[in-house]
Structure formats: C-alpha cells, structure tokens
C-alpha cells in the first residue's frame, strides 16, 4: 500500500511528465493580436483588390454585350489579367472563409484534369441554356466551369501565335461574330464574371467578420485555438511556396526534357505562368516581412533571430526574383527547350531553398507547429 507521500510524489511526477516536455511559446493573447493584424493588414487588402478586379471584369463584360467588338474583347482580356493578378495575391489564404463553399476551387480549378474544362464548356455551349447561367444555378455547376480556368479558355486559343506569344485570334472571332452562339458565349463569360464577383464580395465580408472575431480569440470554428489559427495562417504561406515549386515549376519541368509537360504550366494559354510566380513572390514578401504586427516575421519575438530570419527570407526571395528574370522564354516553351530548361532549373532550386527556410528554420523560432500530415500525404 503506497504511503501518502509516495502517492503525492507520483501524482506530481505524472503532472510534471505532462508539463515538462511542452515547449515555451508565445502567450495566446499575443497570438490573438497577430491573428487579428494578419486578418486586417495582410488578408483584407488583397481581398479588396480581388473584389474590385472582379467588379471591373463584370463591367467589361457588360460593355462587350453592348458592343461585341475588338475593343470590347480587349477590355475583357484586361479584366481577366487583373483578376488573375489579384488571385495570385490570395493563394496563400488557405485557411478561413476561402475554404468554405469551395471558393478556392471555384475561383480557379487548377491543376486541372485534362479535358474536363473543355467538356464542360462544350456541354454548356451546345445546350445554350440561359437558365443555367443564372447566379444560383451557375454556382453549383462544375468547378471547372466557374472561374478563371474556363475564362482563360474562352479568351485565349490553345495554340500560340507563330512567335510563341499568346493568341486570341479564334477566341475573339467566336465572340465578335454576330450570332446567337457568340451571344451565349459572352453570356457565359458574364456568368463567370458575376460568379467571381459574388465569391469576392462574400469572401471580403467573411474575412472582415473573421478578422474581428480573431481579435477576440474566437476562431469561428476554423481552428480550435489562437495557436491553431496562427499555425494554419503560417501553413498557408508554406503551401504557396510548395505550389510554386512543386506544381507551377516542377510539374511542367519534369525530370528530363522527354518528361516535360508544358501544358501543366499555370495559365499557359494567356502567357501568365511566370508572371503568376512573380506575383506569388511579391505576395510572400508582404505576408512574411511587410507589417510589424501582422506579417509572419512578427511571430519571431527574439530580436536576433528575427533580424537573421528577415535577412534570410529577403535574400531568398530576391534570389527567386533574379532567377525568374533569367528565364528568357514563356514557361511552357522554356521547359520544352533544351537550353531554356537550364534557366528554369535554377529558379526551381531557389524556390525550394526559400521553401526550406519556411519549413525547417522558421517554425521553431516563430513558435509554429507545422502539421506533419496535412502538408504532404504519404508520398512525395
């Protein structure tokens, strides 16, 4: 029969066993402040930009409907580029309201399964059913149809011009023809634009609400605690760096020239593949370094460590930008060219080196626990 002292010792020991291995980390209160500042200063601005870009696109489509000519077409193309630029600024928000209602996938279904987008567009055009374009109905259509992926298909040809530049010759001809088919095509673009604007409006409002709740330590069901929310915010930045490396560069590049897959490059028809990566880099700079309260470097509370990491991140991102400037062809052409491939490979290396800082060096200093399983599955 254990004595009372033995029992007391074992109870204390058991309690210490639970307490001792726990690492020291920032108090929940300061994480609440970070989460709120992130929401206000890092998430809301690009969401606002996305909202205004989608509104402008919708206006451009209205103009096209009034006057379906080359000028109207050019307005839609400009709108497409602005919305795509804005979308690049949102790709790190993989936590919170954009994960609801399949918003992320509906904005852009990518990487895409080959043929699914073509099939969906073809089916819609063949049926030419106006009722399917009504907002409530369209929001439940295939994700392949709802956003930028099909929008690009409708504005750009799948064959480049002779000089390798993006071509819209066929696309424009199909939209400016004075036929019922052309009118429906424009209406379909209008439905996509309206859908994007609706998603943008909902997302901005939802994040406004979410940021306010985060300030009070309320994670609105998206995370179990302020620390969890911070982990998820950070994980979104890691995800974007993995997207840049693995999917935007690695997949088109392949292991060799023979294994190159040029049409896996993001938005290759509109010639945006490298521009998208440049936008991602700019966004990462902002999300990591720009704001004293809401950018990720704010999580590193030890001044020396913060200064060192700030330097490393800035240098690594600059190196990515320099490497990107060294690619002399559009990405889909570069990966299929024996010489240009050797310009893309260093870019991939720099992107992966940057990613490694985010996954290996920074988490501990920032008090972040990166989910082991949700990042990378059972292979890779």
According to CB under 8 A, which one of 6, 11, 12, 111 is a site residue for another protein?
111
DSSP 9-76: HHHHHHHHHHHTTSPP---HHHHHHHHHHIIIIIIHHHHHHHHHHHHHHHHHHHHHHHS-SHHHHHHH
126 and 132 in contact (C-beta within 8 Å)?
no
Residue 167 or 273 with smaller CB distance to another protein = 273
Left, alpha or beta for 102 (phi > 0: left; psi -120 to 50: alpha)? left
Residue 30 or 247 with smaller CB distance to another protein = 247
Minimum separation from the CB atom of position 120 to another protein (A): 9
- CA-CA distance, 360 to 25, in Å (whole number)? 17
According to CB under 8 A, which one of 3, 131, 140, 379 is a site residue for another protein?
379
Nearest CA-CA partner of 127 in 181, 83, 76, 164: 181
306 and 297 in contact (C-beta within 8 Å)?
yes
Q: Half-sphere exposure of residue 202, counting CA atoms within 13 Å on the CB side?
A: 17
- CA-CA distance, 319 to 321, in Å (whole number)? 5
Does position 3 interact with another protein (CB under 8 A)? The reply is: no
According to CB under 8 A, which one of 113, 163, 304, 339 is a site residue for another protein?
113
Residue 326 or 371 with smaller CB distance to another protein = 371
242 and 348 in contact (C-beta within 8 Å)?
no
Q: How many CB atoms lie within 10 A of CB 100?
A: 12
Minimum separation from the CB atom of position 58 to another protein (A): 24
Cβ burial of 290 (10 Å; 0-12, 13-18, 19+) is middle
Minimum separation from the CB atom of position 360 to another protein (A): 5
Residue 2 or 23 with smaller CB distance to another protein = 23
Site for another protein in 20-49 (CB under 8 A): 21-23
Does position 63 interact with another protein (CB under 8 A)? The reply is: no
Does position 354 interact with another protein (CB under 8 A)? The reply is: no
- CA-CA distance, 213 to 340, in Å (whole number)? 49
Residue 116 or 212 with smaller CB distance to another protein = 116
- CB-based contacts of 133, cutoff 8 Å, min separation 6: 187, 188, 190, 191
To the nearest 10 degrees (0 to 180), the angle between helices 169-176 and 148-155 is 90
Site for another protein in 196-255 (CB under 8 A): 224, 228, 231, 246-247, 250-251
Does position 263 interact with another protein (CB under 8 A)? The reply is: no
Minimum separation from the CB atom of position 57 to another protein (A): 22
By CB under 8 A, the count of residues binding another protein is 39
Does position 359 interact with another protein (CB under 8 A)? The reply is: yes
Site for another protein in 153-192 (CB under 8 A): none
Residue 142 or 208 with smaller CB distance to another protein = 142
Does position 18 interact with another protein (CB under 8 A)? The reply is: yes
Please choose, out of 1-9, 38-46, 211-219, 359-367, the segment that lies near another protein by the rule CB under 8 A.
Answer: 359-367
Minimum separation from the CB atom of position 23 to another protein (A): 5
Does position 143 interact with another protein (CB under 8 A)? The reply is: yes
Residue 32 or 232 with smaller CB distance to another protein = 232
Does position 380 interact with another protein (CB under 8 A)? The reply is: yes
Written as six digits, the tokens of 108 are 């852009």
Minimum separation from the CB atom of position 12 to another protein (A): 15
Minimum separation from the CB atom of position 79 to another protein (A): 24
- CA-CA distance, 86 to 82, in Å (whole number)? 6
In sign, the C-alpha dihedral spanning 286, 287, 288, 289 is positive
Does position 2 interact with another protein (CB under 8 A)? The reply is: no
Give the residues lining the site for another protein (CB under 8 A): 17-18, 21-23, 102, 105, 109, 111-114, 116, 142-144, 224, 228, 231, 246-247, 250-251, 261, 264, 359-360, 363-364, 369-374, 377-380
């Amino acid at each position: 029969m254990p004595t009372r002292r033995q029992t007391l010792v074992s109870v204390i020991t058991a309690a210490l066993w639970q307490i001792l291995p726990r690492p020291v980390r920032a108090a929940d209160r300061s994480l609440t402040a970070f989460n709120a500042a992130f929401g206000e200063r890092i998430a809301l601005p690009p969401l606002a930009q996305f909202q205004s870009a989608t509104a402008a696109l919708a206006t451009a489509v209205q103009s096209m409907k009034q006057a379906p000519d080359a000028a109207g077409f050019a307005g839609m193309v400009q709108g497409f580029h602005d919305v795509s630029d804005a979308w690049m600024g949102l790709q790190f928000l993989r936590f919170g309201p954009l994960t609801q209602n399949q918003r992320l996938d509906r904005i852009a279904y990518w990487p895409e399964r080959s043929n699914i987008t073509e099939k969906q567009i073809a089916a819609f055009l063949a049926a030419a059913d106006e009722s399917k374009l009504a907002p409530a109905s369209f929001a439940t259509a295939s994700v392949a149809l709802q956003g930028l992926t099909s929008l690009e298909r409708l504005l750009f040809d799948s064959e480049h011009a002779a000089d390798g530049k993006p071509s819209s010759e066929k696309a424009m001809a199909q939209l400016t023809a004075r036929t019922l088919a052309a009118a429906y095509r424009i209406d379909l673009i209008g439905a996509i634009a309206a859908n994007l604007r609706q998603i943008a409006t909902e997302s901005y409002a939802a994040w406004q609400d979410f940021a306010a709740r985060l300030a009070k330590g309320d994670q609105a069901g998206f995370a179990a605690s302020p620390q969890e929310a911070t982990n998820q915010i950070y994980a979104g930045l890691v995800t974007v760096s993995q997207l840049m490396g693995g999917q935007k560069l690695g997949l088109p590049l392949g292991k060799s020239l023979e294994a190159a897959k040029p049409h896996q490059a993001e938005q290759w028809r509109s010639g945006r593949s490298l521009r998208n990566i440049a936008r991602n880099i700019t966004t990462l700079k902002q999300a990591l370094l720009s704001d004293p309260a809401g950018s990720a470097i704010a999580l590193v509370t030890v001044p020396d460590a913060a200064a060192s990491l700030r330097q490393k991140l800035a240098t690594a991102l600059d190196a990515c930008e320099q490497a990107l400037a060294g690619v002399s062809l559009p990405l889909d052409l570069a990966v299929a060219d024996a010489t240009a491939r050797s310009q893309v490979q260093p870019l991939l290396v720099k992107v992966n080196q940057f990613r490694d800082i985010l996954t290996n060096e920074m988490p501990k200093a920032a008090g972040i626990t990166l989910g082991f399983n949700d990042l990378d599955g059972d292979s890779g």
